[in-house]
Structure 1
Amino acid sequence: MIRNILLSFATIALLVFTFSGSKVAKSKVNLAHYKIQETTYNYHVPNKAEAIATEAPIQGQVFSLYLGKTYVGFKEALGFKESRGSYTVINQYGYLGKYQFAASTLTIIGVYSPNTFINDSKLQEKAFLAHTSRNKWILRRDIKRYVGKTIGGIKVTESGILAAAHLAGAGNVKKYLRSGGTIGFQDAFGTSIRYYLKRFSGYDTSLVKPNKKARVI
């Protein structure tokens, strides 16, 4: 009996739902207020060929890398001054690569083949760090004594001393500092210790550790 009553209710509910659904379907809905101007959305989307044809021409790669006063900034600035950053240049005096090393200087830090050196950029970077580490050890007392002082109108910094040592050799830098700037040095192009002290001042060269026996590994 209960089962029959439930079945009757289900049948009535189905009939009501069907009737109401069909009634809604037959009713008219006014969509006039939803109408939009068709020209508003009438635009063209370019295909792949059209997009490629209208692309702006590439004017060449442009890089902007700010190195600041970091160690990398120091060595890149020095390399640019020495050779405009070229690893393969050999000048008229036989100085080699990006940092313009003399072959005799390279032997001190364990590089014996100029041909291998000039064709290996990684070796040149390692050589620069080793040579600078060795100069920092040689000049350690002078760095401690003169950094912060003014000599020849230039405020002395550690990076300036290391750059000058790369130019003139650690011994000549010692003479310059200890003479108060009266014993100078100029290379074959007329570049002076004083100029390098000024040009490369204020860089962070703390990454370079003083090492008497620094060599390229």
Structure 2
Amino acid sequence: MKKAILIFGLVSLTVLVSAFRSDATKAPANKENCYRTNEFSTVLTLEESIKFSEVPFIGNSFIGFREAVGFKESRNRYHIVNKFGYLGKYQFGKSTLKRLKIYNVENFLKNPETQEKAFKALCSLNKHILRKDIKRSVGKTINGIEITESGILAAAHLSGAGNVKKYLRSNGGNNLSDAFGSSIEYYMTKFSGFDVSWIDADKNPVV
């Protein structure tokens, strides 16, 4: 009887350990953690992420905002192009890069520092374009969403400043989504509450 109990215990323990290992190797069920992982292959190292930080990474700082947007767009990978042709860590379109006077796509993909400068420049440009809407709308609630400056800038990165302007001026009636289903309101919510106050509004930002 003692031997039977011992054997049963060992078998049960083996099954339990195997189940634990199986669960640990499963892909995460959370959609956010799986975002676009099938489209990208280059992994950003921690050293790369820190190298181009202008201030220490703090949760609600601009660097926190930058890294959160980068993770959402590409899981913070610099050297990738998605199936629609959007480029790099922040998934820039070629027309946006041209507006920032960046014409060499290959060099852009190989240069993380240029990508970080381009993101900051685009934030400055969008802040200039949306300066009146930021002043009028921050602090208000639209469709249950508290409007913040960082939410506005993130939504502008997603859909363009013009579409964010339409959203705000229509009181939430123009809630555009991208090809992956991410909407202006989703970005407004996801990226709210970051401190982007030190980004200057600039009509002609320099990369």
Q: Same fold (TM over 0.5)?
A: yes
Matched residue, 2:169: 178
Give yes or no for the alignment of 1:146 onto 2:141.
no
Matched residue, 1:159: 150
Which of residues 93, 98, 103 in structure 2 aligns to 1:112? 103
Which of residues 77, 80, 90 in structure 1 aligns to 2:71? 80
Which of residues 99, 117, 121 in structure 2 aligns to 1:126? 117
How much does 1:184 deviate?
A: 1.4
Amino acid at match of 1:103: K
RMSD (Å), alpha carbons:
1.7
C-alpha offsets along residues 34-72 of structure 1, whole Å, 9 cap, x if unaligned? xxxxxxxxxxxxxxxxxxxxxxxxxxxx99x96210000
Matched residue, 1:188: 179
Which of residues 50, 69, 81 in structure 2 aligns to 1:90? 81
Alpha-carbon separation, structure 2, partners of 1:100 and 1:192: 16
Matched residue, 2:203: 212
Amino acid at match of 1:149: K
Amino acid at match of 2:190: R
Identity of aligned residues (%): 56
Alpha-carbon separation, structure 2, partners of 1:179 and 1:104: 26
Larger radius of gyration: 1
Matched residue, 1:7: none
Matched residue, 1:203: 194
Q: How many residues get paired?
A: 155
TM-score by length of 1: 0.69
* Contact preservation (8 Å) 2:57, 2:63: no
Alpha-carbon separation, structure 2, partners of 1:183 and 1:108: 24
The 5-angstrom pairing of residues 43-58 of structure 1 reads none
5+ long unaligned stretches in structure 1: 1-61
The 5-angstrom pairing of residues 9-20 of structure 1 reads none
Amino acid at match of 2:79: T
Alpha-carbon separation, structure 2, partners of 1:131 and 1:113: 17
How much does 1:215 deviate?
A: 2.6
5+ long unaligned stretches in structure 2: 1-45, 48-55
Alpha-carbon separation, structure 2, partners of 1:95 and 1:103: 7
TM-score by length of 2: 0.72
